[in-house]
C-alpha cells in the first residue's frame, strides 16, 4: 500500500519554500498530492486554474507528485481521497500559532487526521507568497524566490494592472 500525504494550500503563488517542503515530504511518502484550495477567503491574485498550472510547471521534474484543485473543507477532500496525512510547512513562530489553531479545528472535524509539520531549508525560511507578490508588484526581481515560470506569470500579472 502506498503511503500518501496531502500538502494543501492556496499557493498564491507557489514559492521555492513550498517546493522544498514538497521535496522533503517525498522523502517520507510514496506520493504527495498538492491540493490547491480555491482560497476565496484569501482573495488570491491568481485564479485556481492559474495556480494549478504554475504548480504543475514548477514541479514537472518531480516524480510521485499530483496536483489537484479542491474547494470546501480540507477534511472533506481528505475523506474523498481516503488519505489522513496532511503536510504543513512551518517557517517562523507566527506560522506555528496559526497552524496550531488550524490543526485543532481540523482534529475537531475529523479525528483521523494526522498533521506533519516540515520546515523548509534555512535559505527559504523568510520567503512567503505575500512577500513575493509585494516585490513583484513594485517590479522587483523575484527570481530567487520562485521558479522562472512563476516569475514570468507574476511579471505578466502586474504588467496587466
**In this predicted model, what pLDDT tens digit does every residue of 74-125 receive, in sequence order?**
999 999 999 999 999 888 766 777 778 877 887 888 889 999 999 999 999 8
Cα separation, 116 vs 7, in Å, equals 10
For residue 69, give its domain range.
Answer: 4-160
Q: Roughly how many angstroms between the first and final C-alpha of the chain, as a whole number? A: 48
Q: Which three cell numbers stand for residue 36?
A: 490547491
Contacts of 117 (CB under 8 A, 6+ apart): 88, 89, 90, 99
Active site residues: 18, 42, 91, 129
State the pTM of this model.
0.91
Chain CA centroid to CA 84, Å: 17
pLDDT score, position 97: 76
Cα separation, 5 vs 15, in Å, equals 19
**Quick count: other Cβ atoms within 10 Å of Cβ 93?**
7
Higher pLDDT, 51 or 161: 51
**Which CATH number fits the domain that encloses residue 134?**
3.40.50.620
The residue-averaged pLDDT of 117-146 equals 94
If one counts the domains in the chain, the total is 1
pLDDT score, position 40: 76
Amino acid at each position: 500500500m502506498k503511503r500518501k500525504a496531502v500538502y494543501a494550500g492556496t499557493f498564491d503563488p507557489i514559492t521555492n519554500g513550498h517546493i522544498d517542503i514538497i521535496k522533503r515530504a517525498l522523502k517520507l511518502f510514496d506520493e504527495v498530492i498538492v491540493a490547491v484550495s480555491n482560497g476565496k477567503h484569501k482573495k488570491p491574485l491568481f485564479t485556481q486554474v492559474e495556480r494549478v498550472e504554475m504548480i504543475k510547471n514548477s514541479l514537472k521534474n518531480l516524480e510521485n507528485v499530483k496536483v489537484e484543485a479542491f474547494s470546501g473543507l480540507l477534511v472533506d477532500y481528505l475523506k474523498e481521497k481516503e488519505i489522513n496525512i496532511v503536510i504543513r510547512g512551518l517557517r517562523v513562530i507566527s506560522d506555528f500559532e496559526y497552524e496550531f489553531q488550524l490543526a485543532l479545528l481540523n482534529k475537531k472535524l475529523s479525528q483521523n487526521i494526522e498533521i506533519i509539520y516540515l520546515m523548509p531549508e534555512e535559505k527559504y525560511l523568510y520567503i512567503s507568497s505575500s512577500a513575493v507578490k509585494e516585490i513583484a508588484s513594485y517590479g522587483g526581481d523575484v527570481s530567487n524566490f520562485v521558479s522562472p515560470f512563476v516569475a514570468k506569470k507574476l511579471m505578466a500579472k502586474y504588467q496587466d494592472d
